Homo-oligomer: A and B are copies of this chain.
C-alpha cells in the first residue's frame, strides 16, 4: 500500500456559497460531521472532506456535481461509512455527498420480482419493508450498508454462493456522471443484448465513475423451507474439504460459511452462543420441505466423511436469526477480544480447488506471527477474510499486519485468485490491483479518464490517473 497523496486545496468560497444556497442547513462544515464522513470501518487513515451535503434527490446530486465540476473540486459519495478499504476518505478534500436521506423505496414489483429504491435505503430497511410480501433481497454484507454503497463496492455476503453478488442482482442504476448529467443504465427487462453493459460498469466502480442515486434490484421469493445449522470439524482442512465437495456436488446450498476456532471463541463471547470452539461451518438450505431434506442428507454425508458429525440445528426463525447475526457480527466479535484494539480486515477469493491450500498456507503464516487474528469466510465462493486485531499505535503490529496481508494477497494472486472478493480496492489495495491486472489497469485508467476527465469523482481510489 502506497500512502495517498496529500496535495489538497481548500474548497473555493464561491463553491461553498453555491452549495449553501442549494442545500441550506443540509450542508455541513462542522468538524464532527466532516470527521465522521472521512472515515470508514477500516484501519485506514481518515481524511475528512471539506463539507458534507445531505441530499434528498437525484436533482440535488446533479446540481452539486455540476457545481463541483465547475471548480474541479472532488465529490465523494457516502452511504453508511461501513467500507473497509478507505473508500470514503476525502484524500484530496472536496464534498462528501451523504445519501442516507435518499431512503425512499420507490416501487416494489412483486409480479416481476424486482424493486426500485433510492441509494440510501439500507439492505435491512428494504427487507423490513418486504416483510409482508413473501419476497426478500439476499445480498448481505456484515454491515447494514446502503444499497447504493453495496452496488458501488460490488458487495456480496453469505448468500452469494446461491444468489450471486450485487453484480448479478442489480438490474439498472440511475447515475449522476462527472458533468452532472443523469443516465439510466438499463431498462427493467431481465436480460438485454442492447449495447454496452453500463450497469456492470458502475457496479464496483466505488464512486469513481459516477454517483449512484437509484437502483432497480432483483428480489426472490422467501423459500418454503429454510434450515440452518452449525457443524464443528476436527481441522480447518476437513471443513474446507467439505465445502469444496458440497459445491462440486451441485447441492444448491444457500449459505456455507467457515469460522476458525479463534472466531468461534470470539462470537461465543460476543453473541452469547455456546458453540464448540473448533473450525466450524455454518450452513443454510433453501427450498421446498422435500428439497431441503434431500440437500441436508447429501451434505451431512459429505461432512461425516470429514469428521463433521455434530450438526447443531437452529430450528426456529429466532434461533436462525441469532446464528446469522452472530456471523454478521464476527468482525465486531473479533475486535471485542482485545479492548482498545483496531481491526485490520482484508479478504481474497480463489478458485475453489485452491481454497484449502490457500487457507492452510495462510494459517501457517498466522501461526508464526504474534498478532491475534481471526479467519472467517464465504467459502462456497472461494472467498475468505482475515481480521488482524492490532494496536494501531504500535508500529510493529501495523507493519506485521501489512506483511501478512501482502503475503496472503500475493498467494491468492498466484493461485489465479483476486486481491479482493468483496471488500473492494478503495485506496488500500491499489497496488495489489496493479499486480492483479497488469495491462488491464491501463484499460481501467482509460475508462476513468473518459468518464471523469478532471478526476473529481472519489479521486485516489481504484486507479491513479
A residues within 8 Å of B by Cβ?
Answer: 109-114, 153-156, 160, 164-165, 167-168, 177, 181-198, 200-201, 203-205, 209, 220-221, 223, 244, 247-250, 287-288, 290-291, 294, 349-353, 381-383, 412-413, 416-425, 429, 432-433, 436-444, 446-447, 449-451, 462-463
Contacts and interface: CB of A to CB of B under 8 A. Distances in A.
A120 to B, nearest CB: 21
B196 A353 contact: no
A449 B250 CA distance: 43
Contact of A189 (B188, B417, B423, B438): B417
A382 B165 contact: no
Given A204-B197, A205-B196, A250-B221, A191 B156 contact: yes
B420 A188 contact: no
**How many monomers of this chain does the complex have?**
2
A76 B191 CA distance: 25
Contacts of A446: 450-451
Given A294-B288, A451-B446, A154 B424 contact: no
Given A198-B440, A439-B181, A193 B353 contact: no
Nearest to A441: B195
What 9 pairs across the A-B complex have the smallest Cβ distances? Answer: A450-B450, A200-B200, A192-B418, A111-B353, A221-B250, A189-B349, A188-B416, A193-B424, A189-B418
Given A349-B192, A443-B451, A416 B187 contact: yes
11 contacts: A112-B351, A114-B351, A187-B413, A188-B417, A193-B204, A193-B420, A193-B421, A194-B424, A196-B444, A288-B291, A446-B451
A267 B190 CA distance: 28
Contacts of A187: 413, 416-418, 436
B191 A381 contact: yes
A439 B176 CA distance: 11
Given A111-B244, A189-B351, A429 B204 contact: no
